[in-house]
Structure formats: C-alpha cells, structure tokens
Structure 1
C-alpha cells in the first residue's frame, strides 16, 4: 500500500457528522416563517446533501423566494441548528489513522465554508484536513462538482486514480464521477440503496470503510 500520493475527499453531512437534527430544525423553522407548506417526512429526510436553496426551489419557491428563505435558514442554523450536530462514531479516530498513514485528507462538502469549519472544529477534526473544500458562502460555488473542482485546483490533484471520494448521497457519487473519481457510499448517512448502487464501493461501518480505503490504495 502506497499512500503518499493518495488523496481522500470526505463529504461532511451524513458522512463525518450527523447534521440532520439541526438541518431539520432550521429547515422547518424557515418554512413556518415563510408560511410554506410542510412536506412529508420522507421528503424532509432527503434535505441533507444538496444546496438548501435548491431544496427550497424544489418545493416550489421562485429563485428569489429561495434566496430569501436561505437567509432565514442560515440565520437560524447559525444560532441553533449547527450545534445540534453529532460526530458519527469512529470517524475522528479513522481520520487520525489515515492521516498518520500518509493519506492526504480534504473535505468536499456542499455546506458553506463558515459552518463547515465551525462544525469540524467542534469535533476536533478541522486540523486533520489539508484543505477545506466547501461551498462558497457568497453562493458562487454550490454544487458538489464545483466544490470538487475547487479542491482539485487548489491542492494540485490531477490523476483521478489517486483520489477517492467518500460520501452518502447521489451528489457525492455523481459529482466525483464527473472527474473520473471513484466513490465510496456510506450507508449511515442520508442516502438510499438506489443512490448507493451507482458508487464503486458501499460500506456500512467505519471499520469497513477503512478496509476498503486500504484495498483501494
């Protein structure tokens, strides 16, 4: 196993951290504030992953309404929602081992840079990453593929065979595939079997993820 040239891109929400309680709370608060119809629980469970303004538009809001709702969401999330997150068991220890073994670690999350850093620092993970790949807070970089490109450009990564994406949603799988990067789908997040079927690998525990990473490297 040669790890010096191997880079791991980690999604945040649903992969490293269970952010759903806070996302759900702030999402529902926003819909109540905007007098918008509350969707089914099944639909609410799909909220983590894509940019929040995309979700608001998917619920029928115009682009302007979605941006207004996003501001309400971010204000509430900044006061309440972000702090309701919990780290998934074993993930920080796994990051420590991977870093010690020589893997380059970067994030690739659709969460905005400010809250991504805040959440990672809460769980003492931030300093384990070489680069924080996240959505831009000004909205110019929002999609998963745009975030991955941002990481590749800033870290100087060129060979997709030396890069592995780890995430839980179709956005992770499809976004990495645009660059020829294989993806590991983790089943403890917010995706479903239909989404995971497109991934090169699927794992259900941190221990299994570690084995897959070592086999890949």
Structure 2
C-alpha cells in the first residue's frame, strides 16, 4: 500500500466541516431585530457567511436598508455576544465528515483548521461538539493579527507549522479558502455543499467534492 501523499490536511470550518448556518442566521436576526429590521431567511444568510462575522453583518444590513458605521458597531457587539452564547444549538457536521476524519487520522495524517471565525468561537464550538481533540491546530481569523485572515497565506502557513509541518492540502467552500491555499502554494479542494455565493466551479480549486465520501480518493489523486 502506497503512503498517503499529505502529512497535513487543513479545513475551513463554517460550510466545510460544519453546517453552522442556523446558528449564524439566528445571530444575524438577533442583531436585525434589535435594529427593528426585517429578519432574513437561512437561504439569504448562507451566501453571506465566510468572510467573518463583521462582513456577514454588514451584508445583512445592506440587504435590509443600509446602516451607519456607529449603529453597525453597536449591532456587531450584540451579534457576537448572542452567537457566543448560542453557537452550537443548531450546528451539525456535514454527512460523512466524521468518517473521513477518522480515516485520515488512522493514516497518521494531522488534521487542522483555518477559519475566518474568531479563534475563541472556533475553539468553543469544537469543544461543545466534542471535536476539538481531533485537530492538531485551530487558526482563527484573528489569530495572526489584523489583516492576516484568509485569503492571506499567513494563517495557512501557521496552521501547517502548528500541525507539525510537511506537505499539506486545504479543504474549503469559499474564494477566501481557495485563494489562501493558492497564496500558500498548496492544493485546494472545494466542497459543493458549502455556503456558496458563486458556482463552485468558479472558485478555481484544484478539485471539487460533492460528499466527504470522495475526500480521501481526491486527495490521493491530487498527491
């Protein structure tokens, strides 16, 4: 049996490993309700996810009439506080994800996360879902300091280093993920079941999967 071609597999979190859309939509709607705005459906909020909570809120406010910078700042604080208290209520793993992680771990592949979610939220969410121990590293959107979230290569490089180094690939669902991987010089896989705001084929990933059942074979092919 040939050796697996990658030492580290990195994953985005929201829309890649976990369907967090219900809890994020609840947080957005909590902020919108506080502002007296109409609430948004799950399907409307999903494409707004991926660039971090602030960008998600800004997009939701634009969709409901715009907002001053001062009011946006106030609502951002409310959104974060609500989300921190409710971030695992409706979040679930995507089908086949746990089995794929088990198979990779059985091959001694290190697993890691690089997300634009704040690190403390990612850590809390993974812990509440009993997933944290599966990952050698968790890099958040604020881990590397301002201006160093995806699509910067910096968090990808740090993720690989903290996971022990070696050849790596990255799995995600957004242009931020694909560009971060490209900027870091590693191959990327896009998941078609994520929070897409454009056709998955337009992301420019090296491969696409429709289900986690296809992940291992796709990584072997890329390797």
TM-score, normalised via structure 2 length:
0.82
- Give ranges in structure 2 of 5+ residues lacking alignment: none
Partner Cα separation in structure 1 for residue 150 and residue 207 of structure 2: 19
2:170/2:187 contact within 8 Å kept: yes
Is 1:122 aligned to residue 131 of structure 2?
Answer: no
Partner Cα separation in structure 2 for residue 121 and residue 139 of structure 1: 23
Partner Cα separation in structure 1 for residue 118 and residue 55 of structure 2: 14
Paired position in structure 2 for 1:96: 102
Partner Cα separation in structure 1 for residue 55 and residue 14 of structure 2: 16
**Deviation digits for residues 25-67 of structure 1 (CA, Å, limit 9, x no counterpart):** 1111111212345567654221221112123334244554433
Change (3 A) 1:138 1:72: farther
1:4/1:102 contact within 8 Å kept: no
Aligned pairs (5 A) from 1:38-53: 38=39, 43-53=44-54
1:161/1:181 contact within 8 Å kept: no
Q: How many residues align?
A: 214
Change (3 A) 1:139 1:62: farther
Partner Cα separation in structure 2 for residue 55 and residue 139 of structure 1: 19
Match for 1:77 among 74, 78, 83? Answer: 83
Q: 3-state DSSP class of the match of 1:70? A: helix
Change (3 A) 1:99 1:7: same
Is 1:22 aligned to residue 23 of structure 2?
Answer: yes
Partner Cα separation in structure 1 for residue 194 and residue 69 of structure 2: 28
2:112/2:159 contact within 8 Å kept: no
Is 1:164 aligned to residue 164 of structure 2?
Answer: no
Aligned pairs (5 A) from 1:133-172: 133-136=139-142, 140=146, 143-146=149-152, 148-153=153-158, 155-156=160-161, 162-172=167-177
1:26/1:76 contact within 8 Å kept: yes
Q: 3-state DSSP class of the match of 1:181? A: coil
Partner Cα separation in structure 1 for residue 189 and residue 143 of structure 2: 27
1:203/1:209 contact within 8 Å kept: yes
Change (3 A) 1:164 1:64: farther
1:111/1:135 contact within 8 Å kept: yes
TM-score, normalised via structure 1 length:
0.84
Q: 3-state DSSP class of the match of 1:9? A: strand
- Give ranges in structure 1 of 5+ residues lacking alignment: none
Partner Cα separation in structure 1 for residue 139 and residue 94 of structure 2: 20
